[in-house]
Structure 1
């Protein structure tokens, strides 16, 4: 089949396509929030704590 659409043109969106896109976006958003929550709950590594303490004290060592 020959595609006569201009280069870069998108196919016409249907209601089903929009629902699928919305559903994928919802799943992606949920997974990203779960990953962020898990990472935010991890303890701060001792090396980072030491660096933060040095920055807070104005130490350059």
Structure 2
């Protein structure tokens, strides 16, 4: 069973998550990540990813499966 994902959704999600993981790992390693502005950016990024995913899910509901 192979999972499929539309590239218009997969690319922005992977790019956004790369930035978030970089900030989190930097914080764990003790680096200064920018304070409240960096945290606000992470929250907005996660909110954007959530909107993309919910939009994709609601768009594909009701369509027949490709299997």
* TM-score where L is the length of structure 1: 0.51
State the Cα RMSD in Å. 2.1
**Structure 2 unaligned spans of 5+:** 1-27
Q: Could you say which structure has the greater relative contact order, defined with CA pairs below 8 angstroms and 6 or more residues apart?
A: 2
- Where do 4+ consecutive residues of structure 1 move more than 2 Å? 10-13
Instruction: Kindly name which structure, 1 or 2, has the bigger radius of gyration based on alpha carbons.
Output: 1
**Structure 1 unaligned spans of 5+:** 1-7, 49-61
Name whichever structure is richer in helix by fraction. 2
What is the number of equivalent residue pairs in this alignment? 39
Pair 1:19-2:46 in alignment: no
